[in-house]
Structure 1
Amino acid sequence: MEPVVLFLLFVVVSGLNNLVIGGRPAVVNIGAVLTYDSFIGGVAKAAIEAAVADVNSNKSVLGGTRLNLVMENSNCSVFFGSLGAFSVLEKQAIALIGPQSSAVAHMISSISNGLQIPLISFAATDPTLSSLEFPFFLRMTHSDSYQMAAMADVIDYYGWRQVIAIFVDDDYGRNGMYYLDDELAKKMSKIYKIALPVKATRDKILDVLQKSRMIGPRVYVVHVTPDSGLEIFSAAQDLQMLTEEYVWLATDWLSTTLDTSESIGRNPLGYLQGVVGFRQYVRQSNEKDAFASRWNVLHKGGLVFNLNTYGFYAYDTVWAVALAINDFLNESGNITFSSNSKLPTSKGKMQLGKLKIFDGGSLLHKKLLSLKFTGLSGPVQFDSDNNLINSIYEIINVNGSMVHTVGYWSNYSGLSISIHESSYGNGQRNLSFNQVLGRVAWPGGKTEKPRGWVVANNEKPLRIGVPYRASYLEFVTVTNKSNMVNVSGYCIDVFKAIINIIPYDVSYQYVLFGNGRSNPNYDELVNMVAEDVIDAAIGDIAIVTNRTKVVDFTQPYISTGLVILAPIKSIKSNAWVFLRPFTVGMWCMTGAFFFLIGVVIWLLEHRLSSPIKGIDSLIASNEPIGYQVGSFAQSYLIYGLNVHQSRLVSLGSPEAYEEALRRGPQNGGVAAIVDELPYVEMFLSKRSGFGIVGQPFTRSGWGFLLHTRYKAVYF
């Protein structure tokens, strides 16, 4: 009888794991892959264990079924993280929590996809962990696509147009920078990217910081990990890069470090003075306060880490899994797996042949996506991309020994001084609210916003193209004496005045265009900018074609215009009249101007008569029309006003203007001259008897010309 009794006892013991209570399994395995000794992983481990205990102590959550937590240490390594995931999944876990690292999450997501096991991460923020590539991946935290939009909004709020981004060279860092670059591009701002190795030495950090000082921008964005980021600020302090001319912005790794580290709480934050950072917003609640009090008890009992926001998200992740499993069991009733014949077997410790596909993976994933409850971190609900909704960040500022909240950012309402209900909108972004932040103490203790830019040590001078003209030298004059080139004139004076307005030094050098014997062609000058032969062009340059793909029109000077010169015939005598048209003078932030067009006519001694009354009658007359050599007027007349090229006559000087007009179209001259208003006014100022008549009209397209790589430099 004893063998029979022993056999029955073995059957009972071996079947305990599959015991069914009221049609439900007694135990369900869930897994977690974390880095135990990291700021995020250490806190998450304790939070997950607390959540599992709370779920199991509450019989109403799973109807008597218990969660069995199987946990492995990834050691912040893709290799060990993958091994840990295999080890957990061999034990037939039906859901996997973590990992905290985006790089590890990419690998484990592929594993979970293959076995149809939902992977729920409370800390992997890489935006490229998309639902299309990794359909079984869910994010119980906010994607960095939102954080980078918030960062770009802050940079734009303070008016900085160039930033230096220091980031860790892994999936988390690189993809975060990709999204920041994209967001800054929308706001016409430029980013210089500096990558650091995953485990950068202090010497490497010092080296890249030292080199970054040669670029010129003084606005830094730091996007690294909580466990290594402070070394960057420590190195920056050694290099005296935390002074009042600098701006330091940090993603939410900094708040995680400040909230978690016990040693930071005991020491002053001197080398972090003035730093502005982000913290994922967790709104106040009685449940949150109760958990924080409970954490303090655990901390006194020997827990190394203080509580951070990722602890709340990790705790809520367990509850989300438990609630989804309960819904799954209510509908499915059981948990089954199918063998995967494609996986090889092994005689080692890890046997891939034991890995099986979870038959109910798609249903459990569906139950997770349909969840809607309020946890410690706030509302828990997923969007169509498997991301947590309601992305809100606190904007913090280190001032003295304290960390202050200076505002908030919501994906729906943008920047604000306080949180309001509109911040939780789920529809299209609405920035009709006032974009405002509280007062910030910047590095050096000043409350005045830093300029954010200095002259770089290796700054190459801007190559400014200047037309070497043969006429109208009042605008640009070039003299060459003793091999010394000197430029002067009205356009040069305007350029220098604008340079003096810029709140930082800009080095430049003039590059002559043309030979001084004839006026240069401005279309060729524009092409020189586009082809990077020169960086910018000045000197009454008019752009009429759409060149926005190659050049930027930046803040220019008061508008000029186009006018038309035309003689009037009479049987008695000839003279000239000056009838000044309506003029427009304005500053235009986009760099486009309005050109004025009128007609210069003959004045008869006794009465006026002319077939030309304005631009329309001039075009309809079929008479020859003069234009200045090299001017854009030729292209404008042909392509803008559809005047046949055979009617156009090039004229190279004011003397040629006068002669052509006095001779008229019957004697080899012209009926009118189309030119820009400054040249005509200069012509009129030195010759009596000439003037302008006709209704003016406008044409956009005037401004200083810059190559696109200088799009952040505003003249």
Structure 2
Amino acid sequence: MKFAVIFVGFALLGLVIFVYCEKPAVVKIGAVFTHDSVIGRGAKTAMEMAVEDINSDPNILNGTELKMIMEDIGCNVFLGSLKAFQVIEGEVVAIVGPQSSEIAQIISHIANGLKVPVISYAATNPTLSSLQFPYFLRTTPSDSNQMAAIADIIDYYEWKEIIAIFVDNDYGRNGISVLGNELAKKMSKISYKLPLCPQYNLSEISDILCKSKSLGPRVYVVHIDPDPRLKFFKVVKKLDMMSTNYVWLATDWLSSTLDSFKRDENYLEILHGIVTIRPHIPNTSKKKAFFSRWRKKSTQSNITAYGLFAYDTVWLVALSIDKFLKERGAITFYSSHKLQLGNIAGFDGGELLLKFMSKTNFTGLTGPIQFDADRSRMGIDYEIINVVQGTILKVGYWSNETGLSVQSPESLKGSKVSSYIQLQKLNNITWPGGQVEKPRGWVIATTERPLRIGIPKRVIFDEFVTELNDIQSVEGYCIDLFLEVLKMVPYDIPFRFEPFGDGLKNPNYDDLVRMVAYDVFDVAVGDIAIVANRLEIVDFTQPFAATGLVVLAPIRNSTSSGWVFIKPFTLEMWLAIAASFVIIGVVIWMLEHRVNDDFRGPPRRQLQTMFLFSFSTLFKGNNESTVSTLGRIVMIVWLFLLLVITSSYTASLSSILTVRQLSTGITGIESLISSGLPIGYQVGSFAYNYMINSLNIHPSRLVCLASLEEYESAL
């Protein structure tokens, strides 16, 4: 009897194990998404094709049929929650979708409680992480990737401030928050954030766009939901904001919209000059074969990159289920009294299936499928596209590894990292208004008045600044320099020149500077000297010319004469030189005539030798040579003195013949101060106060000169 009981027990246990390990005939997965949407229309067909391909492949699931339960949730969070419960009630092992980040977040809460993995192919909200939602993963990259690409484009064109327009939900707010962080790394920023409600209308779009026109930045980043009617940019076009100096950058919602419907050049005309990005899917043979099948199956719409992600998502789930069945054998569900949800049961193998999903590594239509620590898709690059005259042009690529480049990321995989910097560029882009040059990205707000630039209305020495009264324009060296500097400013600055002065004499520059300090002028441009009293009330740019005082004095024209050669030295100097020749001759004779035959002979010959010896050293070598030590020492000293004398004479004579002489004898400020002579100064110049306050010159010595004629008569 004991053995019979044991036998029956083992039989029942074997039966339970057999039932538990038996592979099911059908495995169900759910799909909750918005069927009639830009992404949903293509995703529905793509997932149906994926299920067909999986069930027809004998190498996967080993005879078990994959069945997908699809539910349309519209764009309603509450309806999405109800549909998720309905799908789970059908004993699904995983849920594919939804495409909305908000609905994905709600369904992920439900999935956590029931241990059913949720795999989204379009929810890009960067805050959807595995820490908060452990049963959530996605086969699409989060918005962190595309925001890094947008930030690189902004940095490439050196724009420092932008305006962000976004849909006011988790998807929009969190995406723009990531963009702000990426821009901060590149020393740029989002100056203004303009939210749109999720059900925005034309009036709301018009209101925020009109508000943005009163702001300075002209670089816009638009991050909203896909819009098949493009009503946002229709309003932009209507408000004449698709003109020169505007920059419109759109995230991949726009590329998804453009890829989802048949190309219509008239429809694309309103997007002329817009730049957007889209996921880069390498053009493999597998992708070409899929598109060939797609064209035969669907003629109503085109497929977007997210449709391809949806196809790969179903394959990911199927491959993971295949591994699950090989290890565990059966699929079971559990019910808990704590849930109190009637027929809704949790999935026993949810954790194991999720593990297989996160570690599954295969190559799908969209390339290698791998996940990071947050279970977000890795390795997705982006294309930079430009809409030009109804045509979509690809102007470059972006990769997290190589940045911006005109070459596809897959072609750069073998390149050296050091060469990426050289390749980081884009092809030429046509901006709104047909502008080819890089827009400055900033203008003075339309509510602001133009800058008032004060310029001195000079009468004399007007090469620096002058007003042409006949054509009401301004020119001069300072004006040319100012206009060249403006070209280097990365935004347009409206301004107007306002002449300062009565036109009868040069204005007082201290008064002009005070006009800036008193906010009569915003800026002053001209030959304005930087002095201490002016620095106390205004700021100056870096000086572009050296400042200082120059003494202007009359000259006397020197007339050449036959005796000009004696002018370098005074009479006393000439007499001293002559005496030196005689003394040197006598000294040399005294030292040499006892030992040197050249200095001997009749008295007349010795006298000639004595006087000619020292004179002849100026022009040629002497026939007589010194032999005594003292004689040679004296000759060395004499030759050095001759070198000094001849050099001084040559320099003085050259100066006399070439340089005009001042008639007053004034050589600088010191001699000017001590001379007691009247000193003229240019009207309006800082020199008047400087000479009184710094040089302590009495005002009675200062004479104001207001015209060239007064300069001429004063000198």
Q: With the length of structure 1 as denominator, give the TM-score of the two structures.
A: 0.61
What secondary structure sits across from 1:217 in the alignment? Answer: coil
CA deviation vs aligned residue, 1:230-277 (integer Å, no higher than 9, x gap): 111100111111112211111111111111123x43644111101100
1:30 and 2:29 matched:
yes
Name the aligned partner's letter for residue 85 of structure 2: F
Residue of structure 1 aligned with 2:337, choices 336, 341, 344: 341
Residue of structure 2 aligned with 1:438, choices 400, 416, 427: 427
Rounded to whole Å, the distance in 1 between the matches of 2:407 and 2:35 is 35
Show the counterpart of 1:108.
Answer: 107
What secondary structure sits across from 2:276 in the alignment? Answer: strand
The alignment covers a number of residue pairs equal to 477
Rounded to whole Å, the distance in 2 between the matches of 1:500 and 1:266 is 36
Rounded to whole Å, the distance in 2 between the matches of 1:453 and 1:287 is 46
The alpha carbon displacement at 1:103 in A equals 0.9
Show the counterpart of 2:278.
Answer: 279
Q: 1:500 to 1:246 in 2, by over 3 A?
A: closer
Show the counterpart of 1:200.
Answer: 200
Show the counterpart of 1:82.
Answer: 81
CA deviation vs aligned residue, 1:100-144 (integer Å, no higher than 9, x gap): 001111111111111111110000011000111111111101110
The alpha carbon displacement at 1:59 in A equals 2.0
Show the counterpart of 1:485.
Answer: none
Name the aligned partner's letter for residue 357 of structure 2: L
Show the counterpart of 1:585.
Answer: none
Q: 1:82 to 1:434 in 2, by over 3 A?
A: same
Q: 1:429 to 1:168 in 2, by over 3 A?
A: farther
Of structures 1 and 2, the larger Rg is shown by: 2
CA deviation vs aligned residue, 1:567-589 (integer Å, no higher than 9, x gap): xxxxxxxxxxxxxxxxxxxxxxx
Rounded to whole Å, the distance in 1 between the matches of 2:87 and 2:419 is 44
Rounded to whole Å, the distance in 2 between the matches of 1:555 and 1:155 is 31
1:313 and 2:302 matched:
no
Rounded to whole Å, the distance in 1 between the matches of 2:21 and 2:56 is 18
CA deviation vs aligned residue, 1:36-82 (integer Å, no higher than 9, x gap): 10010111111111111111111211111111111111101111111
Rounded to whole Å, the distance in 1 between the matches of 2:254 and 2:132 is 30
CA RMSD of aligned residues (A): 3.8
Q: 1:337 to 1:231 in 2, by over 3 A?
A: same
- Preserved CA contact (<8 Å) 1:51 1:315: yes
Q: How does 1:363-442 map to 2 (within 5 A)?
A: 363-421=352-410, 432=421, 434-442=423-431
Rounded to whole Å, the distance in 1 between the matches of 2:249 and 2:289 is 32
Rounded to whole Å, the distance in 2 between the matches of 1:185 and 1:229 is 34
Show the counterpart of 1:210.
Answer: 210
Q: 1:462 to 1:100 in 2, by over 3 A?
A: farther
Name the aligned partner's letter for residue 140 of structure 1: T
Rounded to whole Å, the distance in 1 between the matches of 2:328 and 2:541 is 70
Name the aligned partner's letter for residue 380 of structure 2: S
Q: How does 1:80-479 map to 2 (within 5 A)?
A: 80-191=79-190, 192-227=192-227, 230-262=230-262, 264-265=263-264, 267-300=266-299, 304-344=300-340, 352-421=341-410, 432=421, 434-459=423-448
- Preserved CA contact (<8 Å) 2:221 2:249: yes
The alpha carbon displacement at 1:225 in A equals 1.3
- Preserved CA contact (<8 Å) 1:372 1:381: yes
Percent identity between matched residues is: 50
Q: 1:255 to 1:62 in 2, by over 3 A?
A: same
Q: 1:171 to 1:428 in 2, by over 3 A?
A: farther
- Preserved CA contact (<8 Å) 2:530 2:540: no
What secondary structure sits across from 1:148 in the alignment? Answer: helix
Name the aligned partner's letter for residue 327 of structure 1: K
Rounded to whole Å, the distance in 1 between the matches of 2:229 and 2:418 is 32
The alpha carbon displacement at 1:190 in A equals 2.3
Rounded to whole Å, the distance in 2 between the matches of 1:48 and 1:316 is 8
Q: 1:26 to 1:454 in 2, by over 3 A?
A: same
Show the counterpart of 1:504.
Answer: 492
What secondary structure sits across from 1:225 in the alignment? Answer: coil
Rounded to whole Å, the distance in 2 between the matches of 1:409 and 1:496 is 37
Rounded to whole Å, the distance in 2 between the matches of 1:239 and 1:25 is 61
What secondary structure sits across from 2:32 in the alignment? Answer: strand
The alpha carbon displacement at 1:353 in A equals 2.4
Q: 1:558 to 1:370 in 2, by over 3 A?
A: farther
Q: 1:496 to 1:293 in 2, by over 3 A?
A: closer
Q: 1:500 to 1:298 in 2, by over 3 A?
A: closer
- Preserved CA contact (<8 Å) 2:43 2:303: no
Rounded to whole Å, the distance in 2 between the matches of 1:211 and 1:87 is 45
CA deviation vs aligned residue, 1:138-166 (integer Å, no higher than 9, x gap): 11011100100100100110111111111
- Preserved CA contact (<8 Å) 2:399 2:409: no
- Preserved CA contact (<8 Å) 2:33 2:74: yes
What secondary structure sits across from 1:59 in the alignment? Answer: coil
- Preserved CA contact (<8 Å) 1:499 1:506: no
Show the counterpart of 2:48.
Answer: 49
Rounded to whole Å, the distance in 1 between the matches of 2:99 and 2:417 is 29
Name the aligned partner's letter for residue 436 of structure 2: T
Q: 1:556 to 1:377 in 2, by over 3 A?
A: farther
Show the counterpart of 1:667.
Answer: none
Rounded to whole Å, the distance in 1 between the matches of 2:79 and 2:19 is 34
Rounded to whole Å, the distance in 2 between the matches of 1:143 and 1:165 is 18
Rounded to whole Å, the distance in 2 between the matches of 1:96 and 1:310 is 16
- Preserved CA contact (<8 Å) 1:125 1:141: yes
Rounded to whole Å, the distance in 2 between the matches of 1:423 and 1:359 is 45
Rounded to whole Å, the distance in 1 between the matches of 2:540 and 2:430 is 31
The alpha carbon displacement at 1:495 in A equals 11
The alpha carbon displacement at 1:387 in A equals 1.0
Rounded to whole Å, the distance in 1 between the matches of 2:417 and 2:75 is 37
What secondary structure sits across from 1:329 in the alignment? Answer: helix
Q: 1:559 to 1:140 in 2, by over 3 A?
A: farther
The alpha carbon displacement at 1:219 in A equals 1.0
Name the aligned partner's letter for residue 188 of structure 2: S
Q: 1:228 to 1:184 in 2, by over 3 A?
A: farther
Rounded to whole Å, the distance in 1 between the matches of 2:110 and 2:271 is 40
Rounded to whole Å, the distance in 2 between the matches of 1:497 and 1:540 is 21
- Preserved CA contact (<8 Å) 2:250 2:274: yes
Name the aligned partner's letter for residue 269 of structure 2: G
Q: Larger % of helix: which?
A: 2
Name the aligned partner's letter for residue 314 of structure 1: A
What secondary structure sits across from 2:342 in the alignment? Answer: helix
Rounded to whole Å, the distance in 2 between the matches of 1:686 and 1:556 is 24
CA deviation vs aligned residue, 1:533-590 (integer Å, no higher than 9, x gap): xxxxxx999xxxxxxxxxxxx9974799xxxxxxxxxxxxxxxxxxxxxxxxxxxxxx
The alpha carbon displacement at 1:20 in A equals 7.4
Rounded to whole Å, the distance in 2 between the matches of 1:151 and 1:555 is 37
The alpha carbon displacement at 1:461 in A equals 9.8
Q: 1:89 to 1:410 in 2, by over 3 A?
A: same
